[in-house]
Structure 1
Amino acid sequence: MAVLVSVIIPAKNAAATLSRAVNSILAQDYPELEVLLVNNNSTDDTPQLIARLAEEHPARIRATDCTTPGASAARNRGLRLARGTWIQFLDADDTLAPEKISRQVNGITPETQWVIGGYRHLLPEGNIDNVPHQDPWKGLVHEFRVGCTISNLYRKTALEAIGGWDETLPDNTDPDLHFRLLAAGLPYRIEPTIDSFYHHDATGPRVSTRDAAGGNWRRAELYGKVTAFLRQHRPEYWVENADWFRGAQLAALRKLSTHDLTAADELYRKQFENGKLLPRTRHLNPGYTRLYGLLGFRNTEALRKWLAGWLPTKWKKRLKG
């Protein structure tokens, strides 16, 4: 008998796109599905649309509300109500291929606790595919190549074991969740097929918030936590791969510096012991690490930002490392 999969869709002011998301679930070729639509303080017609969809599909769709703001709270609300053994999350403006859930369920074993899937960004200027890295630890800190909210499939008990989604985070919730799954040592399976579609044409806001400076700070801090965990708990792996993770840390700090140089410099001093732990890394031009040693992180990044204001475009690209 097929296991039940619960599909959890948080929705805030998603009247323009929710039907598209739900239709992609109703079109799944996997038979054992339930859908939980979680209204998250919508002020448009989303509540009425959710009620109508639940009325039209009473055997498949349930409706609920979450008054605590944020996608993580809405997902946790759905998780508590879910009857399924496995959980599929879907944002209200994204879609899945008809074979997505069946393909991932058919590949699981009794030991599998989560499935890492590929996904596609659908952008006005063209599509970008994100295929999982064969080493999820490396994928975690490089281009989000450890799946995302919509592309992965999770055993409900695995999510419960790590405490679900962190409702205190306004962003970077996917990598935080995946870090905790990896740190807990929960067995995974990689399914590289592109079956999930991240739409960038939404007319309304996602449930998640947007804060460039804060988001980049939280990402840089998370990468520091990843590094600290690997150094302590997987020392042999760390020795072999330290430059990869140090490079990812440094790249995240450089990105943060474009929004908040002071915050980036403070994290740099903490994570790199003020330049003592600089990596030889594929993530950055070697010239940068030499400049960090000569000028320090703050002065190097301030100089880069100043030069970017007047250099030709082809030179600006070099400044990005």
Structure 2
Amino acid sequence: MISVVIPCYNASQFVQRAIDSSLSQTYQDIEIILVDNNSVDNTWEFLKKAAASHPEKIRIFRETKAGASAARNRGLYEAKGEWIQFLDADDELLPDKLENQATIIRQYQPELIIEDFDLISKSETGESSTISRIANENPWMGLITVRLGCTCSNLWQKELLMKVGGWNEDIRSSLEYDLLFRILQVEPRLYFSHKRKTIAYVQQESVCKSSDKEKLQEILNNRIELSLKIQKYLRSEGRLTAELKKASNLYIYRELLRYSMEIPRYAREKRKKLPAGLPLAARIKAYKKHVGAVYYKNHERSLLKYPQIAYYLLKDIHLF
């Protein structure tokens, strides 16, 4: 059996899509676990109606400890299935997603299936764009570069999740990659599927637009600290290749760039505490690839006339 775990927080307006996509799976040996996580709208009433409509498939629970990790862990512990499909309340699965992965389980006996997915976002004008996220089959490179599937596209063996302690309830960001880091350390059997059977939706008010500076600082800090922790682990195991180290440093630099506009002072202070460095050419290449489009495509002024850009390119930006 596969247990579909859907954490819900103020999700009454959109969780029906996630529920319907689960009920529509061609693979029918499933249960659906809906976990309300302190919603203040009518989510709980909505979930009760859903369970009443499909009592043979749906079970509902309330988790009072705040956070997606606590809600997912509650679903994990309540699950009857040997495999866990986590599904965010605003995302959806294509009808044959679980059937394809069940076939993989029968043929290859993996402990974790890592799968590609499509990411759909809407602009402020309402235009939709789709990005296909392709996993890197070098698991450590995929972990470092955030190319190792996602919470909802991957299929997780319950026994493996329990072995590593489930989701970390002490952090609020970098949740899935913290989990994947702990999983890779026990060296499970992996299978990489390049079928895209999951659609993840990016909300218009993304975290990068948040006015909560403390939240942004926490996100940036968690991402950098996790990257450094991965480097430290790989070094201790004699597995930190030059390629992996460079990829990790580039990731950290790109995250500093990404948040430099919203929390410039914090990003500068974080930068000062990081040892070692990236060459200027690598910094310029990273900038052009990840945040240069706005300036290169829409402006004719010199790159170095932008003070934020000049600071990040010309200052001695130190990285581990």
Q: TM-score range, shorter-chain basis?
A: 0.7 to 0.9
| Equivalent residue, structure 1, for 2:114 | 116
Offset of 1:162 from its aligned partner?
0.8
Which residue, out of 179, 193, 196, partners 1:194? Answer: 196
| Equivalent residue, structure 2, for 1:131 | 134
Give distance in 1, aligned partners of 2:138 and 2:185: 14
Secondary structure of 1:123 counterpart: strand
**Given residue 133 of structure 1, which amino acid in structure 2 is its aligned partner?**
N
**Given residue 161 of structure 1, which amino acid in structure 2 is its aligned partner?**
K
Give distance in 1, aligned partners of 2:88 and 2:281: 34
Q: Does 1:244 align with 2:247?
A: yes
Aligned-residue Cα RMSD (Å) equals: 3.1
Secondary structure of 2:188 counterpart: coil
Offset of 1:237 from its aligned partner?
4.7
**Given residue 219 of structure 1, which amino acid in structure 2 is its aligned partner?**
R
Offset of 1:180 from its aligned partner?
1.2
Deviation string for 1:100-128 (max 9, x for gaps)? Answer: 11111211256511111111111123111
Q: Residues 231 and 279 of structure 1: is their aligned pair in 2 closer, same or farther, counting only changes over 3 Å?
A: farther
Q: Does 1:285 align with 2:284?
A: yes
Offset of 1:270 from its aligned partner?
4.5
Give distance in 2, aligned partners of 1:40 and 1:81: 15
Q: Residues 18 and 267 of structure 1: is their aligned pair in 2 closer, same or farther, counting only changes over 3 Å?
A: same
Once the two structures are superposed, the pairs formed by residues 1-321 of structure 1 within 5 Å of their partners are 4-108=1-105, 111-124=109-122, 125-142=128-145, 144-201=146-203, 211-233=215-237, 235-272=238-275, 277-279=276-278, 284-285=283-284, 312=300, 315=303
Does the 8 A contact of 1:90 with 1:150 survive in 2?
yes
Offset of 1:129 from its aligned partner?
1.0
Secondary structure of 2:194 counterpart: strand
Q: Residues 214 and 240 of structure 1: is their aligned pair in 2 closer, same or farther, counting only changes over 3 Å?
A: closer
Deviation string for 1:251-296 (max 9, x for gaps)? Answer: 2233344444454445445442xxxx324598632799xxxxxxxx
Give distance in 2, aligned partners of 1:222 and 1:43: 32
Deviation string for 1:71-117 (max 9, x for gaps)? Answer: 11000001110000000000111100011111112112565111111
Q: Residues 85 and 93 of structure 1: is their aligned pair in 2 closer, same or farther, counting only changes over 3 Å?
A: same
Give distance in 2, aligned partners of 1:126 and 1:42: 30
Aligned residue-pair number: 289
Secondary structure of 2:116 counterpart: strand
Give distance in 1, aligned partners of 2:62 and 2:150: 24
Percent sequence identity over aligned pairs: 31
Give distance in 2, aligned partners of 1:107 and 1:281: 45
Does the 8 A contact of 1:13 with 1:204 survive in 2?
no
Offset of 1:213 from its aligned partner?
2.6
| Equivalent residue, structure 1, for 2:125 | none
Give distance in 2, aligned partners of 1:54 and 1:91: 18
Does the 8 A contact of 1:247 with 1:281 survive in 2?
no
Secondary structure of 1:93 counterpart: coil
Give unpaired runs (5+ residues) of structure 2: 123-127, 314-320
Secondary structure of 1:34 counterpart: strand
